[in-house]
Structure 1
């Protein structure tokens, strides 16, 4: 009798649980997907009036980029030697002369009034004022700006053009090589003609000397006393002069 009672109660409990389960899952709640596509897709198993759970948007943390420090020029170093302290400046911070980037207007080619007894076609170089004149006659001359010999390399005289060359090669004299080496500037034994060549686009050789009227790869030096005695011109100007004169042209340097 007791066993029968327990069996009946167990069956009743089982049927009651099944009934509750059927009631619970009779209508499955809708699957709700978060509308925020940046958030994870979350299925909500809540009631029909449930609102989707939207996780806060994950903001990517910016990557820390370790930038290289800006180059800082080294400071001057105090060194102590047998003669006391000396201030040694690194080469990177040694002051340099400002470089002119444009030629001054008076050194551009132009036709000017020029009174001379020299015949037309003669070249006259005024080294003090940094001008080269090509005598045209009728009291006029074509004037160009030039660079001339630096202090200690000035000269004056009369010669004739004995050779002309386009994009000439450059062979520095041994004296120049030695002189520049003493300053720490090492010149090549020879340099082919071209835009980097110090003789520039054209050269007109004067007599049997080492002096020339030639172009330059440093046009900002026109109007200055910077050469070792040669007369330098802008490449545009030396090409123009080159076409106007012939071998045998008289050149007066004063």
Structure 2
């Protein structure tokens, strides 16, 4: 089980900053070399025009097939149906189903994800949530002051770090400040490049939200992998 110490360690501002991509070296272009191109993406990664804000298609040749959303044999047979299991080592989020099956999603996890392992409760979900920046984070990044709690936060839509959906994780009735949310850049899927939250493609977090129930267990496994890049606070 997680302890409150794990969530508080490093300060709550560091945890909330998990919802923002930390500054990274410039990513490689979103077009893979010809010899490394992947098969065409499934149709469900096309542009979504039925949401309040447009969601562009996932670029071809960027996301490896193993990170595509797919129904797989359940690797966690002891978990109850509905449980969410996050494996930072593999870069996967599994939603445990029935009859030995699970839905698997590619997930970006935090470079500090090893500090968060154990169980949480999916307390509630929000569509196109506002992002409210804590004062402690604004002290480090004054340019975020317009998005403070006092100012009402950042409007939903393109550019909001939480993306199309956010699933809020609690422990013992206390907000952990961790989220499962959208807005993961395709080139970072399956990698550990931010400071905490679990990030999915918007296409996948919308699908996950449709399948999950409030109150289910979210289990984050220990991480053994080093981060792909250094976290810059």
Partner of 2:181: 214
Partner of 1:250: 217
Q: Which residue of 92, 98, 104 corresponds with 2:28?
A: 98
Q: Which residue of 212, 222, 228 corresponds with 2:195?
A: 228
Q: How far 1:99 moved relative to its partner? A: 4.4
Q: How far 1:229 moved relative to its partner? A: 1.0
Say if 2:145 is the partner of 1:168: no
CA 1:151 to 1:99, structure 2 compared with 1: closer, same or farther past 3 Å? Answer: farther
CA radius of gyration, larger in: 1
Q: For the Cα contact (< 8 Å) 1:148–1:154, is it kept in 2?
A: no
Corresponding residue pairs, total: 156
Unaligned runs of 5+ residues in structure 2 are: 1-24, 32-61, 222-233
Q: Which residue of 61, 64, 69 corresponds with 1:109?
A: 69
SS of match in other structure, 1:242: helix
CA 1:245 to 1:152, structure 2 compared with 1: closer, same or farther past 3 Å? Answer: closer
SS of match in other structure, 1:211: strand
CA 1:132 to 1:152, structure 2 compared with 1: closer, same or farther past 3 Å? Answer: closer
Partner of 1:198: 161
Q: Which residue of 86, 106, 118 corresponds with 1:157?
A: 118
Note the alpha carbon deviations across 1:78-137, whole angstroms, 9 max, x for none.
Answer: xxxxxxxxxxxxxxxxx8442445222211101111232011111111011110001112
Q: Greater RCO between the two (CA within 8 Å, min separation 6)?
A: 2
Task: Name the TM-score, length of structure 1 as normaliser.
Answer: 0.56
Q: How far 1:235 moved relative to its partner? A: 0.4
Q: How does 1:63-142 map to 2 (within 5 A)?
A: 96-100=26-30, 102-115=62-75, 116-142=77-103
Q: How far 1:226 moved relative to its partner? A: 1.9
Q: How far 1:152 moved relative to its partner? A: 7.0
Tell me, in whole angstroms, the C-alpha distance in 2 between the residues paired with 1:103 and 1:168: 25
Note the alpha carbon deviations across 1:176-196, whole angstroms, 9 max, x for none.
Answer: 4445x3xxx843432111122
CA 1:99 to 1:171, structure 2 compared with 1: closer, same or farther past 3 Å? Answer: farther
Partner of 1:239: 206
Q: How far 1:250 moved relative to its partner? A: 1.1
Q: For the Cα contact (< 8 Å) 2:179–2:198, is it kept in 1?
A: yes
CA 1:248 to 1:151, structure 2 compared with 1: closer, same or farther past 3 Å? Answer: closer
SS of match in other structure, 1:137: coil
Tell me, in whole angstroms, the C-alpha distance in 2 between the residues paired with 1:213 and 1:156: 14
